[in-house]
Amino acid sequence: MAGMTRMMTTTRNRALRVGAGLVLAALVAALPGTADAGKITVYTSYEEDELASFLEAMKKDVPDVEVDVLRLSTGDLKARILAEASNPKHDVIWGWAATSMVDPRILAMIEPYTPAGIEKVPERFRDKDGRWFATTGYMGAFCVNNEIMAKEGLPMPSSWQDLIKPEYKGKLVMPNPASSGTGYLHIASILQMMGEEKGWAYLDELDKNIDQYIKSGSKPCNVASAGEFAIGLSFALRAIKNIDEGYPITMVIPSEGAGHELEANALMASSQNKEDAKKFLDWTLSKSAEEQYNKWKSIVTMQGRTMPEKFKKAGLPDDISTVLFEMDYAWAAANQERIVAEWQRRYEK
């Protein structure tokens, strides 16, 4: 990653995150009052490959701001931020689940900020009090194997209601919401759109057609793409990538609307270098940043997006908001533990 924003620093109290044989980040744990001008620390949950692409573009656009990055999964990052609550080590949260950001303990650490260009982000994708805003996200989708459907004479589903038809018995695989964020967004969206009583009744029926609950959010799409199952409940970007690679699948966005998760950004109130932190947050709304998001993300919230051709070919509309179910992120966050426990009691196999 030579030539891009420096991601490694050899100072005291550094924290390393290693994955897939690569050193992903190093963190300067600066003491209060010792922040270096022109340098900020960013915590993120963006995937490694997209993160590298985003940071390379940012360095070209804002060369006077040096960024040290710590990349952790959503749950691990939340644990880290809460553990450091009395002495936060970072200036910015970037690309992190909105359902985690809205935790009152997290919100208490955030300083409201109105970045340049925020008017491009619809109000539904930002906090009403200005504490966070989301530029990207991911959405649920069905991956349907065309060859199996044709061979077995099965109809192409178009909705959640279609999936409980008896002809799909044993044909479905789905992520486990206890281990998969994608699995949870599916369950949370169903309970919100139907109401809990009808939602659980629907999930009882859906369970009859599920062959397996899988830990990963992407694997249901992968096994459907490989012809092991007819339908995998997964997320849109995985379907788009598999279609682009030539797998015989159709991506279906449920007609009731797709559950989704936003990846949000925020300024830490404890930051010792807020001017540079604000420059970074301003950049996340820039045209250059948007061009990078378009290469990697199924949801880009900024209005006027030009949808990539391979995304449109797979079935995404130019205006992504037309196919999203309007999630209540605070509700999804506040009720996650209860919902997952109830789901496990009913369906875990």
- Assigned domain for 9 exists: no
As given in the structure block, the two tokens for residue 249 are 């699948």
Indicate if 170 and 247 belong to the same structural domain. yes
pTM here is 0.76
Whole-number Cα distances in Å, 334 to 85, 100, 338: 20, 9, 9
What CATH number is attached to the domain comprising 110? 3.40.190.10
User: Which residue do the tokens 């919230």 mark?
Assistant: 301
pLDDT tops 80 at residue 174: yes
User: Are residue 254 and residue 286 in the same domain, yes or no?
Assistant: no
pLDDT above 70 as % of the chain: 89
Q: Using one digit for the tens of pLDDT, what is the confidence trace for 175-222?
A: 999 888 889 999 999 999 999 999 999 999 999 999 999 988 889 999
Q: Is pLDDT at 270 greater than 80 in this prediction?
A: yes
Q: Is residue 103 part of a domain?
A: yes
What's the whole-number mean pLDDT along residues 157-175? 97
How high is the pLDDT of residue 330? 87
In this structure, the answer to whether residues 146 and 107 fall within a common structural domain is no
Same domain for 330 and 201: yes
CA–CA dist 277, 66 (Å, integer): 10
Cβ atoms of 94 and 265 closer than 8 Å: yes
Does 70 lie in the same domain as 88?
yes
In degrees, rounded to 5, the angle at the alpha carbon of residue 172 between the alpha carbons of residues 136 and 195 is 60
Are 300 and 233 members of one domain?
no
| 326 in the same domain as 180 | yes
pLDDT value at residue 74: 80
| Residue 154 and residue 54 share a domain | no
Q: Are 336 and 184 in contact (CB under 8 A)?
A: yes
What percent of the chain has pLDDT above 90? 73
Assess whether 75 and 97 both reside in one domain: yes
Q: Is 3 a member of any domain? A: no
Assess contact for 94 and 41: CB atoms under 8 A. Answer: no
pLDDT of residue 320: 85
Q: How far apart are CA 81 and CA 109, in angstroms?
A: 9
Q: How many domains does the chain have?
A: 2
Shared domain check, 132 and 61:
yes
The identity of residue 166, as a single letter, is: P
Residue 116 CA, distance from chain mean position: 23
What does the pLDDT average to over 301-322? 88
Distance (Å, whole) CA 172 – CA 229: 7
Mean pLDDT of 128-153: 97
Q: Is residue 10 part of a domain?
A: no
Q: Is residue 156 part of a domain?
A: yes
Residue found by looking up tokens 């992968």 in the block: 222
Span 227-259, pLDDT tens digits: 999 999 999 999 999 999 999 999 999 999 999
Summarised one tens digit per residue, pLDDT across range 61-99 is 999 999 999 998 887 898 899 999 999 999 999 999 998
Q: Which residue segment(s) compose the domain that 214 sits in?
A: 138-259+314-347
Q: Which residue has the tokens 């970074």?
A: 280
> 9-34, pLDDT tens digit by residue?
333 233 333 333 233 333 333 333 34
